[in-house]
Each structure stands twice: as C-alpha cells, then as structure tokens.
Amino acid sequence: MLALLPAASAQTLTLNHDEGVTRIKKNPQRVVVMDEEALGWMFALGLGDRVVGLASSYLSPTDISGGKLKPSVLKEGFYARGKLNNPSFVGSWTAPNLETILALKPDLIVRLTWDGNQNYDKLSKIAPTAGYQEGGQGFWQKGLRDLARVFGKQVQAEQIIKQAADVNRAASRKLRAAGVFKKYDKVVVLAPFSGGSTWAYSRVRLIDDLRSLGFKNGLKIGTATLGIGAQISDEALLGIDKKTLVVLFPPGGQFNGADAFLKTPVGQRLKDQSVLYVPEAFSPYSGPLVSIRNSTEMTRLILDKLK
C-alpha cells in the first residue's frame, strides 16, 4: 500500500483558493462552471469541451431546451469563443440546481464568489470546488493559473496572460501618439442598470484595463461593494470634470440601462465626454480574452471620438 502513495499523490494536487483548500484530481474530464468568468478561463486554456454544466444569470428560459443551452445560443457572443459540447444549464450564479449538478457527475466545480455567497459546502459534497473572489488581488490571473496547474496547461496560461499585457501596452502607445491623454487624462467606468441605479467600478471590471492603457482615476469611489465598485449618486456624477473620459459599460441582457441613463439630465450633461462600450452577449466581466477585447475595442472607440 505504501508503495502506491507516491503514484496516487502524483495524480492529485492541492489548490489554495479564496474559499478554502481543495484536493483535486489532475486533468479532470467533466467540469461545471458556475459563471461566465470561470468559463472564460476554460476557453483561454482551450478546454471548453470539458464543460458539462454552466450556471448563468444571463440566460432566459427561451435560451434553454431540455435542460441544455440551445445550439443557436452557443453560437452567440462570448459562448462562440470556445468549443462547448452542449452543456447543461445548472441554474443561476446564486441559486444553482444542485440536483442537476449532482446528476452531471463533475470532477471539478469552479466559481466566482464574494462575501455572503452560499452553497460552497453543498457544491463541495458533489465534487471538488474552487472559488475565487472577484475583488481579490490578481483575481482572474490566479484563477487561470490554478486551472492551468490542474490541467497541465501552465505554458498556455502564461502565454495568454502575456498576450493580454502586450495588447494593453501596444494600445497605450497608440493612444499616447494620438494625443488622447492631453484631452482626457482620467477615466471613470459607469455601469447603468435598468431600473435607474448606476455603479462606478473601482477595479476588475474594465477599469483595470483602462488604467493599463494610461488613464488615471477620474472619480473617488466610496466603500466598494464586492470589492469591485459601488453605487454612485447623481451629485457625484455631476462633479466629474471635463478632462475625465466617461465610459458607459452596461451590464448584459435585461440589466442594461445605458439608453435610459443617456436620457437623464446627468446622462445629457456627460454625453459629450462619454463613450458607450457594450460587451459581447454572455461575456464575463474580466479574464484574458475579455482584457484583449477591452483594450482593442476601447482604443478604437476613443480614437473615433477624437476624430
């Protein structure tokens, strides 16, 4: 028996993640991702075909048939970025269907998490579960690197992390050469939600990429919620100066309130210094694939605005 221990140990590894310490078998074949963030990491590693279950708050009943995502939906937006083999829908980020997940017999469950998020203990009884806090330092890089260890894809992970950084640097040079920072040296990222509330992001959600491009913070944000931003008042928005670029970065699907925001007095006041950046359908908020798109598309939008 003792002679078998080294071989058995070689087939597993330990992940220290934001919800605990988890022992995981290497190279799992059946993975459930509890959000598009984790899906993006799987796509970046070329492992979308290992995803047997997907949780999401973007999907509606019309996107599902027989408990699975419709083939037409898999061809839309971010879902088309990788190979998905007819995954089952396992509920929303906060209310997963545990029975469905159990029936899928996953080898690994990966999720984004935050203070107060529930079900970690229940998910861990189904399969080894790793969770990552969105507001944590180096959030998506840590999640990606951990998954890369699990699947033996460390070289690929480092390559795409470097690619994202290289794209940011090249975009920064292009903006500087065009004189963008003479007109706008600061930036604020606003997320207008349907229903009238507006968030300002302090980290992770687009703002980190814009800082990498060379912009300074254009708005002091109060106590962050979930570590990534806070709801912002109209009074604070009216105090934004003319040298601050306002990026409207609405949430996806039914939560998008950008059009309504632009019709408000505050939206009209900020309109001339604003650009609207719409993420892909079903897109996560961060990750290497998202970072590359953010830098490329934001550079295009900003340069177009200065023409």
Nearest to 204 by CA among 132, 307, 103: 132
- Which pLDDT band, with edges at 50, 70 and 90, does 4 fall under? very low
Domain 2-152: assigned CATH number: 3.40.50.1980
For position 114, what pLDDT does the model report? 84
CA distances from 13 to 8, 9, 81 (A): 10, 7, 29
Domain boundaries, the chain: 2-152, 179-306
pLDDT at 159: 98
- What pLDDT sits at residue 253? 73
Q: Is the pLDDT of residue 226 over 70?
A: no
Q: Which CATH superfamily is domain 179-306 in?
A: Nitrogenase molybdenum iron protein domain (3.40.50.1980)
**Distances in Å between the alpha carbon of 72 and those of 13, 65, 84, 134, 173?**
37, 11, 12, 30, 39
Average pLDDT, the chain: 93
Can you give the pLDDT at residue 116? 81
Cα–Cα distances in Å, from 157 out to 46, 65, 136, 273, 287?
10, 34, 19, 37, 11
Choose between 30 and 10: higher pLDDT: 30
pTM of the complete model: 0.92
Lowest mean pLDDT among 73-77, 96-100, 137-141, 291-295: 137-141
Written as one letter, the residue type at 63 is D
14's enclosing H/E stretch is: strand 12-17
Q: How far apart are CA 33 and CA 39, in angstroms?
A: 6
